[in-house]
Amino acid sequence: MKYLLFLNHPKGEKVFKVTKAKERLARKYFKQIDTLETSINFEGREIPATVDFNIFTKLSNFDCFNCQDPCCGDNPVVFSDKTRDFLLENFEKYDNKTKIPSILENFGLSSKEITESIKNDPGLIPEEFLENEIDMCSCSYKPDNCSTLCSIHGIALEKNMTFEQIIGLKPLVCSLWPLEILSEDDLSRVFITLPDDFTNNFITEDYYNIACINLDFTSSPFFRRSNPVGFEEKNYVPFYLAYKDTIIFTLGENFYNDIVKKIQEVGRDA
């Protein structure tokens, strides 16, 4: 099995390949729970999907402007030509937000070398700087001393681009985070869920301490010490509502409608 959203990760199989142990856990999990059989439209390809639909009712609140958790931990994909062109067209804005070109210039790179790196290098910067002099994703930026945001998203908003256009520019894994999509090796079927404490411990990371999908954690003193504001309980809504447009624009409207229909059917039968 593979983690579908990491197939284009610069580190390759080291990241996108599901270990045998986690694959056994995943197959066991999806056999034991009530699932929805539908399909997703993934990059123009229709793929059958087995969905842990109940978890789409999980309460979530993506309060990014009040979050101090550095989600943009590394470069999640080899960036598309469309994204590279967009950043070059908005070079000054990209530099003002991320400071990446200025940092590279400080290390002695010429303007031409910086432009060529954005055009050609997997992570938009020379590999020797990745996770060394420059940590986190090369598109991440801080509007203040707290939150970490996406410069692609930020620049697009400043240009009054539509949400669908923004989705088309950002790496899919960034838009759909924290959705977990596992696939068969030949992409003949995908399995979709959300992190849920330790019940589905085949996921890529431990999200137990991530407030946006763990309402209980926001009331803990550990969280409130570093995040005294934001993440209010009244702003938490089911994931399928919070991510409605994102799901439709990335995985297809039929997929979204099938989930909503199934959730409503189960609710009526309960």
Q: Per the domain annotation, does 232 fall within a domain?
A: no
Give domain status of residue 176, yes or no: no
Tokens of 143: 């509007």
- Provide the pLDDT for residue 14: 86
* Number of independent structural domains in the chain: 2
Residues 81 and 162 reside in one and the same domain: yes
Q: Are residues 30 and 114 in the same domain?
A: no
Q: Give the chain as a DSSP string.
A: -EEGGGTT-TTTHHHHBPPHHHHHHHHHHHHHS--EEEEEEETTEEEEEEE-GGGGGSEE---GGG-------S--S---HHHHHHHHHTHHHHHHHH-HHHHHHHTT--HHHHHHHHHHSTTSS-GGGBTTTB-S-TTEE-SSSS--EEHHHHHHHHTT--HHHHHHHS-HHHHHTT-EEEE-TTSS-EEEE---TTTTTTSSS--TT-GGG-HHHHTSHHHHHH--S---GGG-EEHHHHTHHHHHHHH-HHHHHHHHHHHHHHHHH-
pLDDT per position as a tens digit, 157-190: 999 999 999 999 999 989 998 899 999 999 999 9
Work out the mean pLDDT of the chain and round it to a whole number: 89
pLDDT in tens, 4-15: 999 988 888 888
222 within domain boundaries: no
Q: What is the pLDDT of residue 206?
A: 65
Region of poorest pLDDT, from 68-72, 150-154, 174-178: 68-72
Position 250 scores a pLDDT of: 94
> In this structure, are 160 and 80 located in the same domain?
yes
Alpha-carbon distance of 182 to 23, in angstroms, equals 9
Q: Are 77 and 143 within one domain?
A: yes
Domain shared by 41 and 108, yes or no: no
159 shares its domain with 78: yes
208 and 190 housed in the same domain: yes
Q: Under a CB-based contact definition with an 8 Å cutoff, are residues 211 and 196 in contact?
A: no
> Domain range for residue 25?
2-62+186-214+245-269
d(CA 45, CA 251): 10
Q: Indicate whether 142 and 97 sit together in one domain.
A: yes
